[in-house]
Amino acid sequence: MRANNMPSAVTDRSQLPQAGRIVVKVGSSSLTTVGGGISEEALGGLVDQLAAVRNAGVELILVSSGAIAAGLAPLGLARRPRDLARQQAAASVGQGLLMARYTQAFGAHGVTVGQVLLTAEDLIRRQQYANAFRALNRLLNLGVVPIVNENDTVATHEIRFGDNDRLAALVAHLVKADALVLLSDIDSVYTGPPGEGGVRIPRVDSATDLEGVRIGSAGKAGVGTGGMVTKVEAATMAAESGIPALVTSTANAAAALAGEDVGTWFSTRGGRRPVRLLWLAHLATTQGRLVLDDGAVAAVGSGLRSLLPAGITGVDGDFEAGDPVEIADRHGRVVARGLVNYSAQELPRMLGRSTHELALDLGPHYEREVVHIDDLVVV
């Protein structure tokens, strides 16, 4: 585990064998058969590779999808349901079956596993965050492999990740992992979706390395959810918070963890960011928009200044104080996202005015910034 704010010491895929703590995510597409249901063989093959790494002393967290897929057959469902209620039912039935398989497969290697079901709220709200960290950390200290999934049965549409790729990136951030490994049915990110003649992208150091790349969302036989889009997003989230990420196939898991030249490597871009800002940048559903004049765009865009009412020319949407909003220039280009300190009802009479004047006129409460620098991410 690393100290706060320090990027991972693992700076290249060849150094993965030196990582002390790794989060591995496996998707439904690598655990299920074409006809649906969990493939005993696929799961066993993955566990053989991971148990060897765990038994070599690496602290390992497995974020595993597959609960919904595992619940289909017992419920007589032919394919993944679209409605939330049946997805919840399938996950409820399937999660236990999935854990039973993992318990048995890891157990054959002398490795104990523990189930950890998380919702988005557990990873974003400070108190729950500390609680989840404590639990995972203790499991790791005890030599257990925590097996994490989204708590699909209780998650609602509003707070749902829906894909485990971004959940895995937040878990990697939470436990201060040295690396995140995202496994699916394809060996790397390609310049285009399969069948379109793309070539492997071995390494991503910045957003420009993905310019012109066509990343599709369709997975095999409808069992996967986010496709490559959510994997690239998750790898980028991790990289931006100081954790390198590798995207590859389940078949390549052992080679990847041995530091071989497989998959797509996302190198780190800076130190750790608070989880609140990761959420704002990549996950939050914004509830409205603030439009700024050019001076305010420059101030906010510098990443060094809070947003004050004087620089705001327009307000759209229906939001409460504390909600996430988009911050745009006068052409409608989004320049930042932030947590706003005032509601959509309060803001219009504040626009263009200095905080000092507002405090005199409306009371000391109105001296605060509209979006504080600590609650703002430049995009």
Ligand X SMILES: N[C@@H](CCC(=O)OP(=O)(O)O)C(=O)O
Residues that bind ligand X (CB under 6 A): 27-29, 65-69, 91, 149-150, 152, 163-164, 224-226
Give the binding range for ligand ADP (CB under 6 A) out of 121-129, 180-188, 282-290, 293-301. 180-188
Stretch 31-50: interaction string toward ligand ADP, x if CB under 6 A? --------------------
Query: Is 225 annotated as a binding-site member?
Result: yes
DSSP secondary structure letters along 339-364 = E-SS-TTTGGGGTT--HHHHHHHH-G
Report the run of H or E that residue 128 belongs to, with start and end: helix 126-141
Query: Is 58 annotated as a binding-site member?
Result: no
Nearest to 105 by CA among 43, 32, 154, 12: 43
Whole-number Å distance between alpha carbons of 159 and 149: 14
Query: Is 11 annotated as a binding-site member?
Result: no
Nearest to 133 by CA among 101, 170, 97, 105: 170
Q: Please, are residues 61 and 145 in contact by the beta-carbon 8 Å criterion?
A: yes
Amino acid, res. 186? I
Q: Which does 152 bind (CB under 5 to 8 A by kind): ligand X, ligand ADP, none?
A: ligand X
| List 204, 228, 243, 340, residue binding ligand ADP (CB under 6 A) | 228
Select 27 or 311, whichever has its Cβ closest to ligand X: 27
Give the binding range for ligand ADP (CB under 6 A) out of 225-233, 271-279, 315-323, 352-360. 225-233
Contacts of 194 (CB under 8 A, 6+ apart): 186
Whole-number Å distance between alpha carbons of 322 and 341: 6
| List 36, 94, 226, 324, residue binding ligand ADP (CB under 6 A) | 226
Nearest to 96 by CA among 77, 71, 75, 61: 71
| List 53, 67, 215, 291, residue binding ligand ADP (CB under 6 A) | 215
Least gap, CB of 243 to ligand ADP (angstroms): 19
- Regarding 30 and contact with ligand ADP (CB under 6 A), the answer is yes
- Regarding 189 and contact with ligand ADP (CB under 6 A), the answer is yes
Least gap, CB of 41 to ligand X (angstroms): 18
Whole-number Å distance between alpha carbons of 184 and 46: 11
**Total residue length of the chain:** 379
Whole-number Å distance between alpha carbons of 363 and 356: 10
Least gap, CB of 35 to ligand ADP (angstroms): 16
Pairing of strands 21-26, 59-64: parallel
Bridge partners (DSSP) of residue 86 are: none
Q: Which does 228 bind (CB under 5 to 8 A by kind): ligand ADP, ligand X, none?
A: ligand ADP
Structure tokens at 180: 């995140």
Query: Is 65 annotated as a binding-site member?
Result: yes
Amino acid, res. 332? G
Question: Ramachandran region of residue 211, left (φ > 0), alpha (ψ -120 to 50) or beta?
Answer: beta
- Regarding 190 and contact with ligand ADP (CB under 6 A), the answer is yes
Least gap, CB of 120 to ligand ADP (angstroms): 18
Give the binding range for ligand ADP (CB under 6 A) out of 103-111, 112-120, 185-193, 299-307. 185-193
Query: Is 228 annotated as a binding-site member?
Result: yes
Structure tokens at 361: 């006129």
Instruction: Give backbone dihedrals phi and psi of 108, rounded to 5 degrees, phi first.
Output: -60, -20
Nearest to 162 by CA among 151, 148, 173: 151
Select 193 or 314, whichever has its Cβ closest to ligand ADP: 193
Q: Which does 194 bind (CB under 5 to 8 A by kind): ligand ADP, ligand X, none?
A: ligand ADP
Q: Please, are residues 270 and 7 in contact by the beta-carbon 8 Å criterion?
A: yes
- Regarding 184 and contact with ligand ADP (CB under 6 A), the answer is yes
Least gap, CB of 93 to ligand X (angstroms): 11
Least gap, CB of 209 to ligand ADP (angstroms): 13
Residue nearest to ligand ADP (CB): 27
Whole-number Å distance between alpha carbons of 290 and 326: 6
Q: How many C-beta atoms surround the C-beta of residue 328 within 10 A?
A: 18
- Regarding 194 and contact with ligand ADP (CB under 6 A), the answer is yes
| Binding-site residues from annotation | 25, 65, 152, 164, 184-185, 225-231
| Binding-site residues from annotation for ATP | 25, 184-185, 225-231
Kindly list the residues in this chain that would bind ligand ADP in the complex (CB under 6 A). 27-30, 184-186, 189-190, 192-194, 198, 214-216, 218-220, 224-228
| Binding-site residues from annotation for substrate | 65, 152, 164
